[in-house]
């Protein structure tokens, strides 16, 4: 039996799937063999559109198939090096069991890391699984987080409803008021948690400025960059310690899977990995394949989203029945200058207010033909949603107004349809109001 395992272990070490020798040390500056992926640097790739296609993607040595095979397996044959990895505590380097790691996950992780400019990436079964594992890994019992008062509902609920069980607490602050953010820091604060572009008001946070505050107070800065993607900005280069994405949205881009990821230094990602094992939110190999396939077109999709969104936002800004149109490329966007320096792509998220309040907004949504009413965002198809009956349904009208969400607020996730077609659709719908 033992001999059998040895033989299999030896065969594995010769296959395309394993690296050469693992040189393990206990210090975290070690260089890990990162699996079977093509490295961005190997092909001299420096542009996002090229990286999106090639980085991480693994051609199959056994058959010559172009692209990463789907490793639809729950478990892997164990050899000496796997037993050693488990014993010595570097099981993340080996394929042992799919909750721990799988080649389909590694391929997409390497693509994501190359796009974000990260040392390490981890994929999860949802954005929320990624967020939960991250904050639980970076916070001790009794710790405090300073977070944006405009957060994704699931994150808000996690902080508000789950933290007390662990003696953890949170203060929510205006994400653009840096004095208030600094003032909210307490002796037990461990992380600053912000979304790069908020929903639905599209407030942009200055990552570099928050990173300065984090450094000064020896905190970790965690940002959720779902709305901007790595094409829009490189959060880690700007100073974030960990960047999180709901891959369900733009990264996969086709509204057909739920997934999440985190990226950062190997040291921090290694701290989060045991939480992935404990909480169990691992990404199925087939979904990993879907995500990798979706990512190949990320750069060109983001250009198309931006193109159509800018056209539609410009049209809405000039329409007499709409007001407060928010889009980072519009001259009247409150943080236009910051957007110009921070964002390489403004994505496809728009919000605006329609004359006649929430009832008019509801009517408008029902009159649109191309844009379907659905929650979620970032897919190739345009989606329309109303904060009053979706993301902010649990707030009162007064609370929404205090946040700046006025009656009649509409949020659009502009897809990659032609901008002129989207405008024509709005034209007919607005004319009926």
Q: Which residues are catalytic?
A: 99, 152, 224, 249
Q: How far is the CB of 171 from ligand PLP (least distance, A)?
A: 19
The values of phi and psi at residue 425, to 5°, are -65, -45
Q: Provide DSSP, 337-388.
A: HHHHHH-S---SEEEEEETTHHHHHHHHHHH-SSSEE-S---SSS-EEE-GG
Q: How far is the CB of 132 from ligand PLP (least distance, A)?
A: 9
The helix/strand/coil state of 227 is coil
Closest among 102, 28, 117, 40 to 68, alpha carbons compared: 102
User: Pairing mode, if any, of strands 349-354 and 409-413?
Assistant: antiparallel
Among 68, 110, 126, 235, binds ligand PLP (CB under 6 A): 126
Residue 263 or 317 with smaller CB distance to ligand PLP: 263
Among 127, 175, 294, 415, binds ligand PLP (CB under 6 A): 127
Write the binding mask 145 to 184 for ligand PLP: x where contact by CB under 6 A, - elsewhere: -------x-xx-----------------------------
Q: Return the range that interacts with ligand PLP (CB under 6 A); candidates 160-168, 243-251, 262-270, 352-360.
A: 243-251
Residue 317 or 342 with smaller CB distance to ligand PLP: 342
Q: How far is the CB of 290 from ligand PLP (least distance, A)?
A: 13
Q: How far is the CB of 377 from ligand PLP (least distance, A)?
A: 6
Give CA angle at 244 (239, 248), nearest 5°: 145
Residue 239 or 260 with smaller CB distance to ligand PLP: 260
Among 111, 220, 249, 301, binds ligand PLP (CB under 6 A): 249
Among 176, 226, 306, 351, binds ligand PLP (CB under 6 A): 226
Q: How far is the CB of 153 from ligand PLP (least distance, A)?
A: 9
Residue 128 or 422 with smaller CB distance to ligand PLP: 128
246 lines the binding site for ligand PLP (CB under 6 A)? yes
The dihedral over CA atoms of 125, 128, 133, 137, expressed in degrees to the nearest 10, equals 160
Q: How far is the CB of 68 from ligand PLP (least distance, A)?
A: 22
Q: Return the range that interacts with ligand PLP (CB under 6 A); candidates 121-129, 133-141, 162-170, 343-351.
A: 121-129
Q: Provide DSSP, 42-69.
A: GGT--SHHHHHHHTT----TTT--SS--
Q: Return the range that interacts with ligand PLP (CB under 6 A); candidates 122-130, 164-172, 203-211, 304-312.
A: 122-130
Among 9, 101, 253, 260, binds ligand PLP (CB under 6 A): 260
Residue 85 or 251 with smaller CB distance to ligand PLP: 251
Which bin fits 108, alpha (ψ -120 to 50), beta or left (φ > 0)?
A: alpha
Cβ atoms 311, 124 nearer than 8 A: no
Place of tokens 């058959």: 63
Q: How far is the CB of 392 from ligand PLP (least distance, A)?
A: 14
As given in the structure block, the two tokens for residue 346 are: 């403004």
> What is the distance between the alpha carbons of residues 105 and 115, in angstroms, rounded to a whole number?
15
Q: Return the range that interacts with ligand PLP (CB under 6 A); candidates 43-51, 61-69, 124-132, 164-172.
A: 124-132
Cβ atoms 171, 184 nearer than 8 A: yes
Tell me the CA end-to-end span of the chain in Å, nearest whole number.
Answer: 76
User: Pairing mode, if any, of strands 372-373 and 383-385?
Assistant: parallel
195 lines the binding site for ligand PLP (CB under 6 A)? yes
Closest among 116, 124, 111, 125 to 58, alpha carbons compared: 111
Residue 95 or 159 with smaller CB distance to ligand PLP: 159
Judge residue 309's burial from the number of C-beta atoms within 10 Å of its C-beta, 0-12 exposed, 13-18 middle, 19 or more buried.
buried
Residues that bind ligand PLP (CB under 6 A): 126-128, 152, 154-155, 195, 224, 226, 246, 248-249, 258, 260
């Amino acid at each position: 039996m033992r001999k059998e395992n040895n033989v299999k272990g030896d065969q594995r070490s010769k296959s395309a799937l394993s690296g050469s020798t693992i040189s393990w040390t206990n210090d975290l500056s070690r260089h890990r063999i990162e699996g079977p992926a093509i490295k961005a640097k190997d092909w001299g790739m420096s542009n996002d559109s090229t990286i999106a296609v090639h980085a991480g993607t693994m051609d199959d040595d056994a058959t010559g198939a172009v692209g990463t095979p789907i490793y639809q397996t729950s478990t892997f044959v164990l050899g000496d090096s796997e037993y050693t990895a488990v014993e010595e505590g570097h099981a993340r380097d080996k394929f042992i069991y799919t909750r721990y790691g799988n080649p389909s996950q590694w391929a997409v992780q390497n693509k994501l890391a190359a796009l974000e400019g990260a040392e390490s990436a981890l994929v999860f079964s949802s954005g929320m699984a990624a967020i939960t594992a991250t904050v639980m890994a970076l916070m001790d019992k009794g710790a405090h987080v300073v977070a944006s008062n405009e957060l994704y509902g699931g994150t808000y609920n996690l902080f508000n409803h789950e933290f007390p069980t662990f003696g953890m607490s949170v203060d929510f602050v205006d994400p653009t008021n840096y004095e208030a953010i600094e003032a909210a820091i307490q002796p037990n604060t461990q992380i600053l948690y912000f979304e790069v572009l908020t929903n639905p008001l599209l407030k942009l946070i200055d990552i570099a400025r928050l990173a300065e505050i984090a450094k000064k107070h020896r905190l970790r800065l965690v940002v959720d960059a779902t709305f901007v993607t790595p094409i829009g900005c490189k959060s880690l280069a700007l100073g974030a310690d960990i960047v999180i994405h709901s891959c369900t949205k733009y990264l996969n881009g086709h509204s057909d899977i739920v997934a999440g990821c985190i990226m950062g230094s190997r040291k921090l990602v290694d701290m989060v990995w045991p939480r992935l094992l404990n909480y169990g939110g691992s990404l199925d190999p087939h979904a990993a394949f879907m995500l990798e396939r979706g990512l190949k077109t990320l750069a060109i999709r983001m250009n198309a989203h931006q193109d159509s969104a800018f056209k539609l936002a410009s049209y809405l800004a000039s329409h007499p029945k709409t007001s407060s149109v928010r889009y980072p490329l519009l001259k009247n966007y409150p943080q236009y200058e910051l957007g110009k320096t921070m964002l390489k792509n403004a994505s496809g998220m728009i919000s605006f207010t329609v004359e006649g309040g929430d009832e008019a907004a509801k009517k408008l949504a029902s009159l649109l033909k191309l844009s379907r009413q659905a929650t979620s965002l970032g897919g190739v198809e345009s989606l329309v949603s109303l904060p009053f009956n979706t993301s902010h349904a649990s707030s009162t009208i007064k609370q929404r107004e205090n946040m700046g969400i006025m009656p009649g607020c509409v949020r659009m996730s502009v897809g990659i349809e032609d901008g002129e077609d989207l405008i024509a659709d709005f034209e007919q719908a607005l004319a009926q109001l």
